[in-house]
Amino acid sequence: MSTTAIETKVALDQALNLDTAPRKQSSVEVTDYNNRQTVGNITVDNPKMVCRGVNVYYGEKHAIKNVGLDIGANEVIAFIGPSGCGKSTFLRCLNRMNDTIPICRVTGQIRLDSDDIYDKSIDVVQLRARVGMVFQKPNPFPKSIYENVAYGPRIHGMVNDKAELDDLVRASLERAGLIKEVDKRMGEPGTSLSGGQQQRLCIARAIAVNPEVILMDEPCSALDPIATAKIEELIDELRENYTIIIVTHSMQQAARVSQRTAYFHLGDLIEVGDTDQIFTNPKHKLTEDYITGRFG
């Protein structure tokens, strides 16, 4: 039922001919709102992750519809779209966080390098060590700052002794740009930090296990502009070593941090392309409507 809400609104707009408000002449290739074929090139030259024919069902609800997308190595790709469009759901397929939802079912193929991550031989523990995640709300463990960062290396047995662990924790905090602020207070609880610092602590925690891909689910939505700027700066630096997939509600943020952008709409991947192209010259009418602020 609700899937048609926006379609109805769009159809209504068309019928009332509100479409003709004065604006820059659009150069979209797909003007049919009902055409849900992905526009743009979903493949890249050196993919880190390859998704083909991915469908996600929440019980009866078809949440992600036949999405195919490549994620290039060492790129930042942004998923944008209106609320409930499935961008977070798709993101959570990439490290199988959807497994924790009993009614959720995923079909299709998602490959990390050459491994099918939904294959029976792949253990989620191993997968999640390779594909780290940063959540919408900063969620440090209610333990010390040190323990927060040390947790991943410890459970995966990545270090041999305390000195090695100390180095790794410091290096991770350094890369997350947090070391100056927490150097003297490693023993304080992670929850005593400010929101922005907590989120950077969560990023430090994620990179401490040296993942290949980092998923970020609206990492700045709970932060103020200054903290957001720091995180964005950090994302830009992390790109050198990691592949980053970021879900964001802010189109400005997508434009600032990402090289490629994918636009989702009601479970469909509508358009994907270089960020510059998506924001200056969208090919699909729905994308254009969204980025020009007509809905969403």
Partner 1 sequence: MNKPTPAAGAPAPLNRDIKTIVNAGLKRRHAAERHFRWYGLIAISLGLAFVVLMFANIIGKGYPAFWQTYIQVPIQFDAAVLDPDGKRDPQTLANADYAALVRAGMRQLFPNAQGRLELRALYGLVSSDAAHELHRRVLQTPALIGAEQELWLLASANVDTLVKGNIDRALDESERPIKDNQIEWVNKLQAAGKIEKQFNAILFSNGDSREPEQAGIRGALMGSFYTLLVTFLLSFPIGAATAVYLEEFAPKNRWTDLIEVNINNLAAVPSIVFGLLGLAVFINFFGLPRSAPLVGGLVLSLMTLPVIIIAGRAALTSVPPSIREAALGMGASKLQMVGHHVLPLAMPGMLTGSIIGMARALGESAPLLMIGMVAFIVDVPKSFMDPSTVLPVQIYLWSDLPERAFVERTSAAIMVLLAFMILMNGLAILLRKRFERRW
Confirm if 264 and 231 have CB atoms less than 8 A apart.
no
Q: Which of 269, 294, 202 is nearest to 38 (CA)?
A: 269
- Report the residue number, 154 or 294, with the smaller CB distance to partner 1: 154
Stretch touching partner 1 by CB under 8 A, among 26-34, 57-65, 120-128, 248-256: 120-128
Min dist CB 13 to partner 1, Å, is 29
Min dist CB 157 to partner 1, Å, is 11
- Report the residue number, 65 or 143, with the smaller CB distance to partner 1: 143
Distances (CA, A) of 32 to 8, 36, 285, 287: 14, 9, 7, 12
Measured distance CA(260)–CA(83) in Å, rounded? 20
Min dist CB 92 to partner 1, Å, is 10
Tokens of 82: 């209106």
Note the Cα 109 to chain centre separation in Å. 18
φ/ψ of 21, rounded to 5, equals -55, 145
- Binding string to partner 1 for residues 189 to 228, with x set by CB under 8 A, is what? --x----------x--xx--x-------------------
Answer yes or no whether residue 129 interacts with partner 1 by CB under 8 A.
yes
Which of the residues 131 through 160 are near partner 1 (CB under 8 A)? Answer: 132-133, 135, 137, 139-142, 151-152, 155-156
Measured distance CA(203)–CA(190) in Å, rounded? 13
Interaction site with partner 1 (CB under 8 A): 95, 97, 100, 102, 124-129, 132-133, 135, 137, 139-142, 151-152, 155-156, 191, 202, 205-206, 209
